[in-house]
Structure 1
Amino acid sequence: MRVIGLMSGTSYDAIDAAAADLELDGDSLVMRPLGMVSEEYDEPLRRALADALTPAAVTLADVCRLDTRIGQAFAAAAVRADRELCGGRAELVASHGQTVHHWVEEGRVHGTLQLGRPAWIAEATGLPVVADFRTRDVAAGGQGAPLVSLVDLLWLRGRPGTPVALNIGGIANLTAPDGTAFDTGPGCALIDAAARGFSGGRLAYDADGALAAAGTVHEGLLRRLLDEPYYALPAPKTTGKELFHLGHLRDALAGFGTLPAEDVVATLTRLTARTVADAVRSVGATEVIASGGGTRNPVLMDMLAGLLPDTALRTSDELGLASQAKEAYAFAVLGFLTAHGLPGTEPASTGARHGSVLGSVTPGREQLRLPPPARERPVRLVLR
């Protein structure tokens, strides 16, 4: 089955569309990656999305407009991916949508909201669409994240030692071989917020770690940031920009006077490296395979390597899976599993009572025809 996976993460900078040929072969799921295209959000939509996130107050009219415009943007990305990567022969689209809120209280997730209605994708492509992946896991008592953990477990099975998969997006998360998976804390969320805040919106992120490289870590600010109670919570746990936003940083800065922007960004970069390294050590990892936008920040990666001197650190590119496209490919896999009636979650990773077949299916132009249900979920993911 040829599947397009659509993903826009907590950095909400662009929609990644990755296509893959997927098939079941005994106890293996074989994936042939076909490539990725990326569509940036236009600036008015990006600004409207940023302005709507917690702790901002929004109206239902705002949510309706965002849901429509995000859905149309995802549809455009899917159309392009089908044309450029699949030659117009895609069979299914799996859309994560855009997370705008993750409702967490006292460590328990009560709800999660992703915008970008799949009807726009189905109408534009004519293909069936699997979407709204996270809610079913939450309904089963899970965190609804990190959903890529199942794909990580299938992909890394059989590697020697204790390999962990690490994704550094707006929020960073990891998956260990025993199924332990959780959000470690801010990936690039606070770094991006500081870059935008100090530049008056001119910078969306710290490109190539330039600001951090020019600054010095402020130890007092770092200690205050590390006092955030989230870091001490047991796994499984999830978080988001509901917690790690510009207001969080402003509260931490109170009483320190005016610090240079470069020092603040350097400190936030160390915060991400430190909290990730602490999480990696907590699961006894011997190897870290990293992906996501944070891997393009050399200062962050150097800090992380320095904090983990005895742990091999490499990117997923070295294992044949493009780090920027990995999450989009993961949702292509999850969509494939749903289409075959197979669970897309691992209870040990999300804390759910049981594994669940994820998402809802929106039919395309033709009569909806799903493959015959598969009998058992594969135990490994093989790249070809």
Structure 2
Amino acid sequence: MRVLGLISGTSHDGIDSAVVDWSLDGDVLTGVVEHIGERPYDAALRARIVAALPPRPADMGEVCRLDTLIGQAFADAAAGCGPVDLVCSHGQTLYHWVEDGRVRGTLQLGQAAWIAERTGVPVVSDLRSRDVSAGGQGAPLVSSFDLPLLAGLPGRSGALNLGGIANLTVREPGLAYDTGPASALIDAAVAAATGLPYDEDGRLAAAGTVHEGLLTELLAEPYYRAAPPKSTGKELFHPGYLDAVAGPYGLALPDLVATLTALTAETAAAEIRRHRLGTVVASGGGTRNPVMMAMLRERAGEARIVLSDELGVPSGAKEAIAFSFLGWLTAHGLPGTVPECTGASGPRVLGSVTPGRGPLRLPEPPPRAPARLRMRTAST
């Protein structure tokens, strides 16, 4: 079954896509990655998304317009990926409602009907809400992909994704949670000072010096001490948060970016050390930042940090591939959550299904869910 996974993450810079051809043999699911792509948002649409993010207010008219415009952008991205049997669209998170550590609701925009109309195939969307309704965090859903992917590795292993927010999956005892910001605060600092979206190749961080006083104050954030399962987003780590904490220091931009990069490395590495991980499989846009990766390796103790490419999962497309997998699970009537990872009361089949042009026909559920994943690219 060929499933297209689509996602725009907490960096809200564009749409990642991955077409994976899935085949099940016993309890082993093999995924052949046939296509990966990145489609930047139109500058005007990205500006509207940024303007609607917390803590800025957004009226319902703008929410409606963004739901349509993002849906159309996702439909455009899907149309460029070739024929598939199913699309699984994460959409764009606009708000993740957390109170006292409990997720009350979550909102991803990007109306799936536009994708179904454009492609003619069924679309799985709104995947996080079902886990939230069962008492879970609704994140990180990639743990359902990470655990069977890590199953073949020796020793204590985990998976770390460095997007706007960083999340860690630990294979044993089966745990996953957001560790804190990855690029979210770095991007906010760079955008405010230069108008550019991110610190390309870590050049600003490389030119700066970590300010230990500010780093200590940033590390005092209560979120880092909260017990998992837990999740966070730009509702907490937004430009206003950065201004309030870092503003009084008046640092030059390179020093501020170096300090924020160290914050990402330290908060992720602290969890790697805490779980005594021997191997960490890293993915996400942060892996392209050599300064961040060097700081992470320096602080991660004895852990060996490798890119997910070594397991057949292109690191820049890991989350799109994971959502392709989640779409496959939903189509086959299988749960897409790990309760121990999200905190839900039990496993749940995720998402809503928007039919394509013809009758909705879904496969027969297999006798059991896959226990292991084998991934490769079509060229290997």
Report TM bin, short chain.
over 0.9
Q: What is the CA deviation profile of residues 101-125 of structure 1, one whole-angstrom value per residue up to 9, with x for unaligned ones? A: 0000010000000000100000000
Q: Are residue 249 (structure 1) and residue 242 (structure 2) matched?
A: yes
* TM-score for the superposition, normalised by structure 1: 0.96
Mapped partners of 2:15, 2:159: distance in 1: 22
SS at match of 1:147: coil
Number of aligned residue pairs: 375
Determine which of 218, 224, 237 is the counterpart of 2:230.
237
> Alignment partner of 1:365: what SS?
coil
Q: Which amino acid aligns with 2:113?
A: A
Question: Which amino acid in the other structure matches residue 344 of structure 1?
Answer: G
How big is the shift at 1:315? 0.6
Match of 1:207, as an amino acid?
E
1:337-348 to 2 correspondences below 5 Å = 337-348=329-340
Quick one: distance in 1 between partners of 2:10 and 2:121?
26
Q: 1:18 aligned to 2:10?
A: no
**Aligned equivalent of 1:138:** 132
Please list the CA deviations of residues 81-119 of structure 1 after superposition, one character each: whole Å capped at 9, or x if unmatched.
Answer: 12xxxxx3x100000010110000010000000000100
**What amino acid is the match of 2:253?**
A
Q: Which deviates further from its counterpart, 142-151 or 369-378? A: 369-378
Between the aligned partners of 1:348 and 1:206, the Cα distance in structure 2 is: 35
- Partner amino acid, structure 1, of 2:209: T
Residue aligning to 1:262? 254
Under a length normalisation based on structure 2, what TM-score does the superposition of the two structures give? 0.97
The one of 166, 179, 185 equivalent to 1:184 is: 179
Q: Which runs of 4+ in 1 moved over 6 A?
A: none
Give how far 1:35 is off. Answer: 2.0
1:103-114 equivalence runs, <5 A: 103-114=97-108
CA gap 1:191/1:254 in 2 versus in 1, 3 angstroms:
closer
Which digits, 9 at most, give the CA deviation of each residue in 1:137-185, with x for residues without a partner?
0000000000000100011102101111000000000100121100000
Q: Report Cα offsets for 1:309-346 as digits up to 9, x if no partner.
A: 41101111122210011110100010000000000000
The letter of the residue matching 1:115 is L
User: Take 1:101 and 1:282, find their aligned partners in 2: how far apart are those partners?
Assistant: 30
Choose which of 261, 266, 269 in structure 2 pairs with 1:274. 266
1:215 maps to which residue? Answer: 208
Q: Distance in 2 between matches of 1:47 and 1:279?
A: 34
Other-structure match for 1:328:
320
- Please name the residue that 1:46 is paired with: 46
Q: Distance in 2 between matches of 1:58 and 1:35?
A: 35
Q: Matches of 2:107 and 2:252 in 1, distance apart? A: 36
Corresponding position of 1:34: 34
The answer for the alignment partner of 2:190 in structure 1 is 195
- 1:99 match: 93
**Which blocks of at least 5 consecutive residues in structure 2 are unaligned?**
none
2:105 counterpart letter in structure 1: G
Q: Could you tell me how far apart the structure 2 residues matched to 1:205 and 1:72 are?
A: 25
User: Which secondary structure state, in structure 2, belongs to the residue aligned with residue 119 of structure 1?
Assistant: helix
Q: Equivalent residue of 1:255, what SS?
A: helix
One-letter amino acid of the counterpart of residue 219, structure 1: E
Determine the structure 1 residue equivalent to 2:299. 307
Classify the secondary structure of the residue corresponding to 1:324: helix
Residue 148 of structure 2 aligns with which residue? 154
Give how far 1:254 is off. Answer: 4.2
Q: Secondary structure at the match of 2:91?
A: strand
Is 1:117 aligned with 2:114?
Answer: no
Please report how far the alpha carbon of residue 369 of structure 1 lies from its aligned counterpart in structure 2 after TM superposition: 0.6
Q: Residue 87 of structure 2: SS of its match in structure 1?
A: strand
State whether residues 272 and 303 of structure 2, in contact with CA within 8 Å, keep that contact through their aligned partners in structure 1.
Answer: no
Q: Distance in 1 between matches of 2:49 and 2:140?
A: 22
Alignment partners' CA distance in 2, 1:12 and 1:342: 29
Q: CA deviation at 1:299?
A: 0.3
**Aligned amino acid, residue 24 of structure 1:** L
1:373 matches 2:368: no
In 1, distance between residues paired with 2:263 and 2:368?
41
On the 8 A contact 2:273/2:301 being kept in 1, the answer is no
What is the root-mean-square deviation of aligned Cα atoms in Å?
0.8
Cα deviation code 1:13-38 (max 9, x no counterpart) = 11011001112211111111102021
Amino acid of the residue matched to residue 361 of structure 1? V
| Partner in structure 2 of residue 85 of structure 1 | none
In the alignment, structure 1 segments of 5+ residues that lack a partner are: 83-87
Q: Secondary structure at the match of 1:122?
A: helix
Equivalent position SS for 1:259: coil
The answer to whether the 8 A contact 2:162-2:284 is kept is yes
Q: Deviations over 1:179-198 (max 9, x none)?
A: 11000000100000000011
Question: Comparing 370-379 with 292-301, which one deviates more in the overlay?
Answer: 370-379
Matched position secondary structure for 1:158:
coil
Q: Which of 122, 126, 138 is 1:128 aligned to?
A: 122
Task: Specify the code of the residue in structure 2 equivalent to 1:16.
Answer: D
Amino acid paired to 1:251: A
Whichever residue aligns with residue 273 of structure 2, its letter is: R
Alignment partners' CA distance in 1, 2:45 and 2:236: 22
In the aligned structure 2, how far is the partner of 1:309 from the partner of 1:109? 32
Work out which of the residue numbers 287, 311, 314 in structure 2 matches 1:295.
287
Pairs within 5 Å for 1:50-89? 50-82=50-82, 88=83
